[in-house]
Amino acid sequence: MQNTKIIVILIIALVLINMVFYTVDETQQAVVIQMGKPVRTVYDSGLHIKLPFPIQSVVFFEKRILDYDSAPTEILTKDKKNLVVDNYAKWKIVDPLKYYVTVHDENGAQARLDDIIYSELRVQLGLHDLEEIVSTNRADLMKIVTKASDEKAVDYGIEVVDVRIKRADLPEQNERSVYERMRAERKRIANRYRSEGEEEALKIRAVTDSLKIVIMADAYKQSMILKGQAEASAIEIYAKSYGRDAEFYEFLRTLEAYKTIIDSNTVIVLPPDTDLLKYFK
């Protein structure tokens, strides 16, 4: 009987201890609620004390950085281009008491962030052209959006750490027309390059043809000079040969004539006393 009483007392003590004491993890922060109203915020991890339930209860919140990932939304840029933007953000709870009063939980916070970040994105992207958003100035734009979103989110006990664009695309109905314009632009550039290439080719051919004419004329001139010099030398040699032995010279020239005009397919009909055939007698 005595043991039963002790066990009952221990159980009651444990229940009371559990109702009075609570533990805050290192990754958490807490708000103590008294009769439905938040009364204090607990930032430090470890063992803490409160009044037993239902007088006081504890609501725990994340201390770590949280993710916000929105659905793709369509935004109009400064140059009147529709852009489908898929963005995300990093945020954390910096004032749990204000957070609990204004948005209550993470679902409420996500809804508020959705309104704030989308509003700031729409404002900032609407002040810039498509090219700036997609390639030139995106990082600076995201810093501006992050700062503006953080200034508004502080009213809900939230700090917006970073806002980024994961993906920025044209709407599906606009993609084909954009691709066609891009294709036409590339075709126009290619045609320009071809025409410029053909123009350069014509210039090169004209220069080459003129150089060819000059080279051929110079070569013909040189060949005529060499040919004239060779003929003069030949005539001089012939003259010297004829002067030394006229009969041998005549014999040699006659043999050369035979070699030129007589072959196996040639039939020559001449009187037997012609000078051309005198060496056959």
Over residues 174-192, the pLDDT tens digits come to 566 666 777 888 888 888 8
Over residues 21-68, the pLDDT tens digits come to 888 889 999 999 988 888 888 888 888 888 877 788 888 999 999 998
In a domain? residue 223: no
- Predicted local confidence at residue 125, as pLDDT: 81
- Predicted local confidence at residue 10, as pLDDT: 62
In a domain? residue 127: yes
Least confident of 57-61, 196-200, 257-261: 257-261
81 shares a domain with 163 = yes
In a domain? residue 110: yes
Q: Is residue 101 within 8 Å of residue 37, measured between CB atoms?
A: no
83 shares a domain with 36 = no
| 73 bridge partner residues | 85
How many other C-beta atoms lie within 10 A of the C-beta of residue 157?
A: 21
pLDDT grade for 260, boundaries at 50, 70 and 90: confident
146 versus 128: the higher-pLDDT residue is 146
- Predicted local confidence at residue 161, as pLDDT: 93
105 shares a domain with 19 = no
Domain that holds residue 27: 2-62
Evaluate if pTM is beyond 0.75. Answer: no
In a domain? residue 225: no
116 shares a domain with 34 = no
- Predicted local confidence at residue 279, as pLDDT: 67
How many other C-beta atoms lie within 10 A of the C-beta of residue 276?
A: 14
pLDDT grade for 152, boundaries at 50, 70 and 90: very high
182 shares a domain with 99 = no
25 shares a domain with 54 = yes
- Predicted local confidence at residue 154, as pLDDT: 92
Point out the domain boundary residue: 16, 43, 62. Answer: 62
Please identify which residue in the block is written with the tokens 């100035």.
Answer: 137
| pLDDT cut 70: percent of the chain above it | 85
> Is residue 250's pLDDT more than 80?
no
Over residues 87-136, the pLDDT tens digits come to 889 999 999 999 999 998 889 999 999 899 888 888 888 887 777 777 77
